[in-house]
Amino acid sequence: MVTSRNLDEVVRLLRRTVRQWDVPAVTHYQQDPFKTLISCLLSLRTRDAVTLQASKQLFRLARTPRAMAALPVGVIERAIYPVSFYRNKAGTLREVCRTLLSRYGGCVPDELEELLTIRGVGRKTANLVMTLAFSKPGICVDTHVHRISNRWGYVKTRTPEQTEMALRQRLPARYWRTYNDLLVSFGQHLCHPTSPWCSRCPLSAWCPRRGVQRTR
């Protein structure tokens, strides 16, 4: 089981392991608040390769909230296809841009609670913007972070939001900003939702495999 006592060693091995893989798609746009926000919204329920390509295509057309808000929804749809729910996301992106213009002068707010007031922005997206774009403390919990943290036995929760709150209580602050990137890469390549590659996992000695029914 992953505990507070062995967490440092677990993170050290994670960092070494994930170096062999590409960083998550949204990480390509860190330090740019607007691109981080838009890319994260595109990534929801979408594979990284598709997210990255859609982000590149969209940012060729518009790199600012003002430019993106001026695009017809149909143009945004064609640019981001085939991301999941691309029609809904196209409308959301334009609405987000209009909100940034009307309420924040075209800037992305750097406070978690402000980000959460923007329609379409949930806790995962808001925390990722805080950590990647503004280098502020935050714990982004997506499906990989939620699944793996529970699989390790580090937390015992039912929802991503519960996982975030549990990690805020338990995870040392020095790991907050990097925890998501590490577990996303790890989850995409080894610790799959079903049939994870436990035979290849450098953390197998510490993992109780909670909820795992079949491994490779």
Tens-place pLDDT, residues 79-137: 999 999 999 999 999 999 999 999 999 999 999 999 999 999 999 999 999 999 999 99
pLDDT at 157 (0 to 100): 98
Residue 44: exposure state from Cβ atoms within 10 A (0-12, 13-18, ≥19): middle
The amino acid that residue 81 corresponds to is Y
Which residues are known to be catalytic? 124, 142
Question: Where in the chain do CATH 1.10.1670.10 domains reside?
Answer: 7-23+139-200
| Residue 106 neighbours by CB distance under 10 Å | 14
33, 3 in Cβ contact below 8 A? Answer: no
Q: What is the pLDDT of residue 75?
A: 98
CB neighbours of residue 22 within 10 Å: 14
Mean pLDDT, the chain, whole residue set: 96
> What pLDDT score was predicted for residue 10?
97
Nearest to 96 by CA among 33, 145, 147, 171: 33
Ranges in the chain annotated CATH 1.10.340.30: 32-133
What architecture is domain 7-23+139-200? Orthogonal Bundle (1.10)
Closest to 132 (Cα-Cα) out of 32, 18, 14:
32
Give the rounded percent of residues in the chain with a pLDDT score beyond 70: 100
The reported pLDDT for the residue numbered 171 is 98
Could you give the CA distance from residue 153 to residue 164 in angstroms, rounded to a whole number? 15
Mean per-residue pLDDT for 154-171? 97
**pLDDT exceeds cutoff 90 at 31:** no
Cα separation of the two ends of the chain: 19
pLDDT band at 197; cut points 50, 70, 90: very high
CATH code of the domain made up of 32-133: 1.10.340.30
**Continuous segment of H or E residues that includes residue 14:** helix 7-18
